[in-house]
Structure 1
Amino acid sequence: MTQDTHETPHDPIEVGGAVWFRSGNETLGGAARIALLSAIQQTGSITGAAKAVGMSYKAAWDAIDAMNNLAGAALVVRATGGRGGGGTTLTPKALKLIDTYRAIEREHRVFLERAGAAIEGFAEDWQLIGRIGMKTSARNQLFGTVRQIKRGAVNDEIELALSGGQLIVAVVTHESTESLGLKEGSEAFALVKASWVILMTDDLNTPTARISARNQLKGTVSKVTLGAVNAEVSLALDDSTTITAIITNESVETLGLEEGRSAVAAFKASSVILGVTD
């Protein structure tokens, strides 16, 4: 093997991670929400805090409502009128939450630095552990990278590139794009319920069907599990990505679905839920 004597210097590989608080199955707060609380403490207003952290006013209030509900007690209170003209303040519980988060985050950073120095390939494995540990009721959990964001009047159209190169399109609100921190190149996952997926096959004797579903992923049937009425059909999109649909046993027979058969999984862009891991 020939060694290149003109090596280009590379930035060192660093380990990344994030801390978030949970209440049951819901996220109470992560870096973005804690930053919002800190900004409220500093500015004394929702408008000022939202601007400071790069959120819209509505997204900020949505986050506050969610935190108040999940905490079981008010974290943010809004005063109206009075000599000072009102304002927004944090409760003692919120102030303690900020201090606790910062302390845990410091210890978390120390842990990641030590682990990254001691374990080969830790950075990549740590991200994978976070993804496979995610629990959700949606059968299909597809991981990818945001390829493009198209802004609309009310909603945004997000293109997510899967590992095999196929694309998933999701339609979400501006506030969701903002609160999730979605941007080109960022990682995200798409959730699609199996009951929302329609399967199609190519038949040489039948004209190719045209449907309005924006997402049409090509693959090969890898598994068919028949039930009393419905069946679960899994479609391998590539070596690492599978999507599952729930259809009737009659549809399985009509479409001739069996292992090795080529098929297309179709679903609407509005049926895709996007999420991020931190």
Structure 2
Amino acid sequence: MTVPPKIHVGNFSTSLSLDFDGGKVSARRLELLVAISRENSINGAAKAVGMTYKGAWEAVEGMNNLAGVSLVTAWQGGRGGGRAELTEVGQRLVDELGRIAALQAQFFAALDKEVTLGNSFQLLKRIGINTSARNAFRGMVESVQKGAVNAEVVLRLASGEALYAMVTQESVRSLDLVPGKAVYALINASWIILTLMDEKIKTSARNRLCGVVNHIEQGSVNTEVLLDLGNGVTLAAIITNESHKVLGLAVGGRACALIKASHIIIGVD
């Protein structure tokens, strides 16, 4: 009998764990219990689940302490080597874990058939993305204009704004950038130039995104300005305190962000 540490449904997963009066036993420890019932050895079980011998012993001690009753009886050393076996309570727990894992699998199999829940799982996946870029947007490729070396990719954000990115032809091929494909646009906040809404200047920046200033946080050297682009889309820009002073930015006012197409990084799932 095996107890899978994780049950997967598309891009959503959850770990099986147990609580004993507030003390949590992780999926790894539960897997160790199952391995001990199979191997009858702490050392063998540790190797089976990818733990160190010392870590496995500590896990066994922890489980016995948290449970309040002995789950594993173990003997170290000896001519035949160490030996371990589950107590009656421990074996009963492992048997129940098998039933729990089966019920969990049935539960997620049912969820997998629900289309609307599947969409929610995709949303959870999106908000879990980790990146060092201050700005990460979800967009749809609208068009791809190929050149000799580079290509201009036009993305449409949830705010309705168009975002122009310049990438290499190799990136277009490797990322499979085609109209209708969902992608991520990553923009470093320090790459953004802010201007006033009514300031009429011509620049080489391909992107000009305008919105309402909804937050300003000034530090010792730089100031972070958040622009509300609409439909829940917010753009963060980092400018110097001197620039903040010269522009006279204030919450509620309007401003525009200038971004070079080459400063936009495109990512895909």
Assess same fold via TM > 0.5.
yes
- In the alignment, which residue of structure 1 is the partner of 2:240? 248
Which residue, out of 160, 183, 194, partners 2:178? 183
Is the deviation greater in 238-247 or in 121-130? 121-130
- In the alignment, which residue of structure 1 is the partner of 2:194? 199
Deviation at 1:226, TM superposition (A): 0.3
Q: Which amino acid aligns with 2:167?
A: V
- In the alignment, which residue of structure 2 is the partner of 1:96? none
Q: Does 2:154 match 1:159? A: yes
Contact 1:139–1:244, Cα closer than 8 Å, also in 2: yes
Q: Which structure 2 residue ranges, 5 or more long, are not aligned?
A: 1-8, 13-105
Contact 1:148–1:159, Cα closer than 8 Å, also in 2: yes
Distance in 2 (alpha carbons) for counterparts of 1:259 and 1:275: 32
SS of aligned partner of 1:237: strand
Deviation at 1:111, TM superposition (A): 8.8
Q: Which structure 1 residue ranges, 5 or more long, are not aligned?
A: 1-15, 20-109
Q: Which amino acid aligns with 1:252?
A: H
Q: Does 2:260 match 1:264? A: no
Q: Does 2:203 match 1:211? A: yes
Distance in 2 (alpha carbons) for counterparts of 1:124 and 1:234: 29
CA gap 1:269/1:17 in 2 versus in 1, 3 angstroms: farther
- In the alignment, which residue of structure 2 is the partner of 1:229? 221
SS of aligned partner of 2:113: helix
SS of aligned partner of 2:121: helix
Deviation at 1:201, TM superposition (A): 0.3
More strand by share: 2
Q: Which amino acid aligns with 2:112?
A: G
Q: Which has the larger radius of gyration?
A: 2
- In the alignment, which residue of structure 2 is the partner of 1:116? 112
TM-score for both structures, normalised by structure 1 = 0.57
Q: Does 2:162 match 1:170? A: no
CA gap 1:185/1:271 in 2 versus in 1, 3 angstroms: same
Q: CA RMSD in A?
A: 2.3
Deviation at 1:114, TM superposition (A): 3.3
Distance in 2 (alpha carbons) for counterparts of 1:186 and 1:175: 17
Contact 1:17–1:112, Cα closer than 8 Å, also in 2: no
SS of aligned partner of 1:126: helix
Q: How many residues align?
A: 169
